Structure 1
Amino acid sequence: MMDVDADQLRTLAAVVDHGTFDRAAEALRVTPSAVSQRIKGLEQQAGRVLVLRTKPIEPTEAGRILLRLARQLALLESEALEALGADGSKARPVIPLVINADSLATWALPALATLPEVSFEITLDDQAHTLDRLRDGTVMAAITSDPEPVPGCVVTRLGSMRYRPCASPPFVERWLPDGVTPAALGRAPMLVFDRKDALQDRYLAVHAPDAHPPRHYVPASTEFVRAAELGLGWGMLPDLQSEPLLADGRLVVLRDAGAVDIPLFWQQWSVESSTLAAVAATLARAAKQAVR
């Protein structure tokens, strides 16, 4: 039977979080040699390699399993210390989350701000790819478009965000003077968040399947909308961000028939944690008010 040491688990999490043994040692206030010994000791107990000595360090499949245990232990430990009335700076729980950029830029961040006793480590990723972070133990919870639960996680439906193809009036006048035709969509520059973003391609697959327009990559939610307003290109914008600009004429919808509803789900580790439960309830309330 494996006898897991808490210090070894904390060291595993620090090594993955900070990317190198040296940086993990600084964070833990121990020597790099101590970090190396703890990882080697944990690997000997597990009987397999737990981290790849790359830059940055990456956990192996076995390492991800123990990393998840390390995260859970840290959360439960902080809650126990808080319940015992320990020093708040030590007891403060840390919740690593992965959230898609559009949710963070609109409704999720104000909701998290109502939980001042929790520290958040937020990672951004496309809503269709957030589950990778749950699987590898990087985060405890995710806002995702995938309803299939990761093993060991529970899922709650939050609602959906509606996206519509939008552009500035001068952009439409220059690039789409005869309407949203397949030929025009093949020439008109297109905005894409990053190489994981498939929303615009989904629109093209329906309305201009043979189109291959120029692409501008703008990997920030607010700046993506700003790029459309400035006429850099057209893009699929969430109603939560585009409606004020549509109302005052700074943006127009290319075609209402191109609206896409992206479902959002909350996935979290199935662990008894009052902090994680509070975060889930807070985001669920915010989503009920903000999204469809």
Structure 2
Amino acid sequence: MVAFQTEQLRTFVAVLENGTFDAAARQLHVTASAVSQRIKAMEQLAGQVLLLRTTPIAATSAGGVVHRLARQLRQLESDASTELGLNGTTSDALAIVVNADSLATWFVDALALVPSTAGLMFELVREDEQHSVALLRSGEVMAAVTATAEAVQGCTSVPLGAMEYRAVASAKFLGTWFPRGFSPALLAAAPAVQFDRTDTLQKNFFTDITGTPLSCPQHFIPDTVQFAEAVRLGLGWGLMPEAHCAQGLDTGDLVELVPGHVSRIPLYWQRWKIQSAALDHLTAAVTSAAARALS
């Protein structure tokens, strides 16, 4: 069993958070040589390289495991300090990865449900729900809203419900590109709005409707609010969460391409499998908010 010292683990986190040995040394009030020696000792214990000496320094695959361990230890120390009522302690922000649509619709409501007496701070990282688990594996975040049901090693996974999307466009756009009404055969010529190049919603809808891979012209707009505005202004068609398109559908400003067709993305809450009061508070809030907001 590899037994890292607490001092070594704190140094490891400091190096990754600051990007260089020198910056980590300044934060820890030690010399850069001392930081280097601690990291070398850890690598000797592990029997493999843990950090890539790049700019900024990055963790190897094995280093990601150590990073997660170090972050977990720091969280447990923070929880203990809070429970002991130690004055002058400052809890680190809980790092959470959230997909853009959850962040724009229901996730901040979840944070508001966390008791203020818990004294928690949050650091949100925005990432596509299909790719968020990589940040859990690397130890960069403590919890994630993800589309991956299988729990990352060292984490638990619970279903939250599903985000529902409808393929919509402005009435003017529909009249321009589908003058006789929507037709799958014409979809390949009509521009689509994509969030970014990892977005799969439009691709999956296109394939479901046409039976072929996405081949239409595409705009890339990586902002949830501006994505919706681009669709409303007629730049292209796109899939929008119910919360973002319901009013437009009611007023007639937006029209469904295929009325009644709903795309559902199941979401899961994954978190570190440690006894942490902070993560327990957060998990209770997230599952409660999701139960109200998701199908």
TM-score normalised by length of structure 2:
0.92
**Alignment partners' CA distance in 1, 2:278 and 2:84:** 15
Is residue 164–residue 265 contact of structure 2 (8 Å, CA) maintained in 1?
A: yes
Q: Does 1:166 align with 2:173?
A: no
* CA distance 1:24–1:277, change in 2 (3 Å): same
Measured after TM superposition, the shift of residue 104 of structure 1 is 0.7
Is residue 79–residue 93 contact of structure 1 (8 Å, CA) maintained in 2?
A: no
Aligned-pair identity in percent equals 45
**Alignment partners' CA distance in 2, 1:247 and 1:8:** 59
The aligned residue for residue 264 of structure 2 is 261
| SS of residue matched to 2:198 | coil
The aligned residue for residue 73 of structure 1 is 73
| SS of residue matched to 1:154 | strand
The aligned residue for residue 147 of structure 1 is 149
**Alignment partners' CA distance in 1, 2:28 and 2:249:** 50
Of 200, 204, 207, 2:206 maps to 204
TM-score normalised by length of structure 1:
0.93
Give me the CA root mean square deviation: 1.9
The aligned residue for residue 218 of structure 1 is 221
Is residue 75–residue 94 contact of structure 1 (8 Å, CA) maintained in 2?
A: no
The residue type equivalent to 2:68 in the other structure is R
The aligned residue for residue 282 of structure 2 is 279
The residue type equivalent to 2:140 in the other structure is T
* CA distance 1:57–1:179, change in 2 (3 Å): farther
**Alignment partners' CA distance in 1, 2:110 and 2:195:** 24
Q: Does 1:59 align with 2:62?
A: no
The answer for unaligned runs of 5 or more in structure 1 is none
Offset from partner CA, 1:204-255 (integer Å, 9 cap, x none): 1121234511111111222211211121111111102211222223222111
Of 232, 241, 249, 2:235 maps to 232
Measured after TM superposition, the shift of residue 27 of structure 1 is 4.3
Offset from partner CA, 1:133-160 (integer Å, 9 cap, x none): 1112111111111111112211111111
Measured after TM superposition, the shift of residue 26 of structure 1 is 4.6
Measured after TM superposition, the shift of residue 23 of structure 1 is 3.9
**Alignment partners' CA distance in 1, 2:270 and 2:262:** 25
The aligned residue for residue 18 of structure 2 is 18
The answer for unaligned runs of 5 or more in structure 2 is none
The aligned residue for residue 85 of structure 1 is 85
Q: Does 1:45 align with 2:45?
A: yes
